[in-house]
Amino acid sequence: MTSPADRLRAVRNRIAAAARAAGRDPSSVALLAVSKTWPADDVRALAALGQTAFGENRAQELITKAAALADLPLEWHFVGQLQRNKAAAVARTGAVVHSVDRLPLARALSRTGEEAGRPVDVFLQVDLGGAAGELAERGGAAPADVPGLADDVAVLPGVRLRGLMAVAPRGEEPAPAFARLAALSQRLRADHPEAADLSAGMSGDLEEAIAAGATLVRVGTALFGSRPLASPRVTPVTGAPPGAPEEV
């Protein structure tokens, strides 16, 4: 078993090597530690090693961990599919939301950002295609819809458009999918220069994502190890209807 320090060092070395291979400065790629299903103590241990950005994919888990670790200067990101009735609760944590794929969700986040006097940073999630039925599992706007969605989101007063996010489709080599994402990102930046970030790449494909221009990679397994078979039970977010499904 390797230590958290060894795993963090190994991931950072992979990021640096991939950036150099792509002719990029390693400092242009940020690491997001995806701590979903792992306890707050594991986040605290990694934070003690200098990692400050962490990602969660369930609303209640994000809220609980952010509260438990409020004494640390952490940057939280929400990377799962987000229901509109949970948007306000997530936004109030100050988290960056990576999974905006429809205008009603962006508007819900914007309302909370306006009320708080602090815009919510958002990424537009892109569906890169792949196996039948994958969109229902992972979410994302169709590539053809992204430019129009970006135009609509960019004018909302309570959000700040950061860029695009995507997950490589299963059953396909990641490099071609990330190349399609990079082309879409380039088009987005032409219309919205401030939306320069690209959130792509995970434990198994971060090298291909960095080669395509990713500025932020989302790494879980390589940092924390294999996840438990079942996620810990969490209390539903206040205001969610009984029986409402949780994000995945």
pLDDT tens track for 97-153: 999 999 999 999 999 999 999 999 999 999 998 644 454 456 899 999 999 999 999
pLDDT for 138: 66
Burial grade of 72 (CB within 10 A; 0-12, 13-18, 19 or more): middle
Report phi then psi at 170, rounded to 5: -70, 150
Average model confidence (pLDDT) across the chain = 90
Identify the three-state secondary structure at position 2: coil
pTM reported for the whole predicted model: 0.89
- pLDDT, residue 204, reads 95
- Compute the distance between CA of residue 126 and CA of residue 146 in angstroms, rounded to an integer: 7
**Residue type at 110?**
S
Residues 41-81 pLDDT 10s:
999 999 999 999 999 999 999 999 999 999 999 999 999 99
| Degrees, nearest 5: CA angle 97-95-103 | 30
Closest CA to 91 of 159, 155, 149, 165: 159
- For residues 72 and 47, the answer to whether their CB atoms sit within 8 Å is yes
Cα Rg of the chain, angstroms: 17
22 three-state secondary structure:
coil
Domains and CATH numbers, the chain: 4-224 (3.20.20.10)
